Amino acid sequence: MVRIDKKATRLYVLDTNVLLHDPAAIYQFDEHEVVIPMTVLEELDKHKNGIREIARSARQVSRTLSELTANVGLDQIRDGIPIPRLNGPEGRLRLLCYTDLTTLETLDDSPDNRILAETCRLHGERSDASVILITKDINLRVKAAALGVPVEDYLTDRVFTDSDAMLEGVKIYSNTGSELWNDLALDVTVERDHQHLTYHLSGQIPVAWHPGMLVAEDEAGFEAVVREVGDRHARLELLTNYRHGASVWGVHASDCRQNFAFNLLMDDDIDLVTIAGSAGTGKTFMTLAAAFQQTLDSKRFERMVFTRAPISMSEDIGFLPGTEEEKMSPWMGAFHDNMDNLLRNEDGESSWDNGATRQLLGARVQIRAPGFMRGRTLNDTFLIIDEAQNFTPKQLKSLVTRAGRNTKIVCLGNVGQIDTPYLTANTCGMAALVQRFRDWPHAGHVTLKSVERSRLALAGEELL
C-alpha cells in the first residue's frame, strides 16, 4: 500500500469493520489519537439491533463511546477526549463531523467513499501529523492507495506476524540436523516409577521448549513430553508407544506426531488439547477413538459432546427442520464418516447403522450447536470442538470456559482452511488458543503432518 512517513503525532481513522471486529480497538493505539468519523457512528447505529455477534459488538462499541464521553465538556470533545491507559501517556479520541462534506469526484456516495473523503479532508487540515486510515476492508485499502491516502490493516489482534509461525508443539532432533543428547550440554538424571520414566535435565535448556510439547530423536526412537521447563532445568516424561503394542479403541499411531497426539488425548494431566493439520491427517478419527476409549471403556468421562462452527463453504442451503441434533446433522459429516470407520469389524462391516448401537451411543454421545453453549457448565465431559479455526477468539473463549469438573476439551482445525469472513490464520480463534496456552502445563498442542489420502485427493490438491 502507500508508504507512510510517520510523524511524531499520528491520527488513526478507524473504519466501522475494525470496531466490529475488535470492540476494544480504541484502546490499542497507545498515546496516539484515534479518530472516529460520523459515518462510522451512523453505521454502528444500523448494526446495533439483533442478537448476532456483529450486533453485540456494535452495542459494546456504543457503550464504550458513551463511557468516554459521559463526563467531558464540549471544549474537551473538540480538543480530544482522553483515552485512559494503565501505563504510559494517555491517548485521545476525536469524533470527526463535517457538516459540509462532499464525496470525492467520480466516486459514488457510499459509506466507504464518505470515510475516504473525511480522511482526505482531515489529512489536508493536519499537515503536522500523520493521518492514517485503519480498515480491514481490502477493497477500501486499494481505493485509498489509488488516491494516495495512507492506509493500514488492523494488525493488533494478530497472534503472530507470520501464518507459518504457529506453534507446531514438536521438536524432532535428527542425525542430519542436531542430535538431542550430543548437541545439548545437559546433565541427565533418570527416574523410574511403576508407570512413567522421567528425565530430569539441568544445563542450558533450549529457548523453544515449552510445557506440553514433544521432544523426539527419530533415529533413537526417543519421544518425550516436556512437563516442566525453566532457564536451567527441565523435566521430560517418556511417551507411551501407541504404534504397535498399545492402541486406542483399536487404533494405532503411524508416526511420532500421531503417537504424541494419542498421548495428549489419553493423559489425565492434560485438560486442553489442540490438534492442527491438513485434511486426512487423522485429527477427528484419533480424537473420537480416544473419546470412546475414555467414555465407554475406562468410564473416565460420563459423556462426549461434539460441536463445530456451522459455517458454509459456499452458499447456505436455507432453513433446516428438526431438533437441534437434526439441524446440526448436515455439519456432522466428518463425525459420521469417522464413526462408520471406528465401528467396523474385521470383516469390514460397520455397526454404525445398527439401531442398538446408535441407541447405546446416543446416551453417551451428544451433538450440540455452539450457539446454545453459553451459560452451560460441562462436568465429566469429553468436549470436541471441530473446525476451531472458523471461530473468533471471543467465540472460542466462550466455549473453552464451559469446562467444569473433570472435563477435557479438544480443539481440532486447519488454519489454512478458514471460511469465516475477516478471519485469517493469524487472527482466528485456534491460533489465539494455541498461543495463549503455550506455557500452561495442562495444555498440549501438536500439528500433524502425515497424510493418508487417496491418489485422486492428493492430485486434486496439487493441480487445482
- Same fold flag, 10-152 and 163-463: yes
216 to 267, 273, 330, 343, 437: CA distances (angstroms): 18, 19, 40, 32, 21
Residues 156-198 pLDDT 10s: 877 666 545 688 999 988 765 556 666 677 888 999 887 789 9
Residue 97 has pLDDT above 60, yes or no: yes
Lowest-confidence segment of 14-28, 76-90, 255-269, 324-338 by average pLDDT: 324-338
Average pLDDT on 17-31 reads: 90
Of the candidates 39, 15, 297, 263, the residue with the CA atom closest to the CA atom of residue 139: 15
- 84: its cell numbers: 485512559
Number of residues that this document lists for the chain: 464
CA distance 307 to 410: 11
CA distance 161 to 167: 13
| Portion of the chain with pLDDT greater than 70, in percent | 82
The set of residues, in sequence order, having a beta carbon less than 8 Å from that of 9 and lying 6+ positions away, is: 32, 33, 128, 129, 130
Residue 424 has pLDDT above 90, yes or no: no
Specify the pLDDT at position 388.
93
Lowest-confidence segment of 261-270, 317-326, 402-411 by average pLDDT: 317-326
Average pLDDT on 339-358 reads: 63
Of the candidates 285, 306, 311, 337, the residue with the CA atom closest to the CA atom of residue 409: 306
Is the pTM here over 0.85, yes or no? no
Residue 67 has pLDDT above 80, yes or no: yes
Specify the pLDDT at position 195.
79
Residues 271-322 pLDDT 10s: 999 999 988 899 999 999 999 899 988 999 999 998 987 776 555 556 666 6
Residues 224-244 pLDDT 10s: 999 999 989 999 999 999 988
CA distance 408 to 295: 11
- Where are the extended beta strands (E) located within 126-244? 130-134, 151-152, 170-173, 186-192, 197-203, 214-217, 222-229, 233-238
User: Strands 443-447 and 33-37, how do they pair?
Assistant: unpaired
- Where are the extended beta strands (E) located within 174-315? 186-192, 197-203, 214-217, 222-229, 233-238, 272-276, 303-308
Specify the pLDDT at position 141.
92
Average pLDDT on 107-118 reads: 88
CB 228 within 8 A of CB 255: no
- Please report, for the chain, the start and end positions of each structural domain, with discontinuous segments joined by +: 10-152, 163-463
Our CA dihedral for 367, 271, 374, 404, rounded to 10 degrees, sits at 100
Query: Does CATH place domain 163-463 in 2.60.120.10?
Result: no
User: Strands 91-96 and 81-83, how do they pair?
Assistant: antiparallel
Residues 41-54 pLDDT 10s: 999 999 998 877 88
Specify the pLDDT at position 94.
92
The confidence band for 355, taking pLDDT boundaries of 50, 70 and 90, is low
The helix (run of H) or strand (run of E) holding residue 436 is helix 429-436
CA distance 430 to 65: 30
At residue 100, what is the residue type? D
Specify the pLDDT at position 156.
80
- 358: its cell numbers: 446408535
> CATH top-level class for 10-152?
alpha beta
Residue 260 has pLDDT above 70, yes or no: yes
Specify the pLDDT at position 38.
93
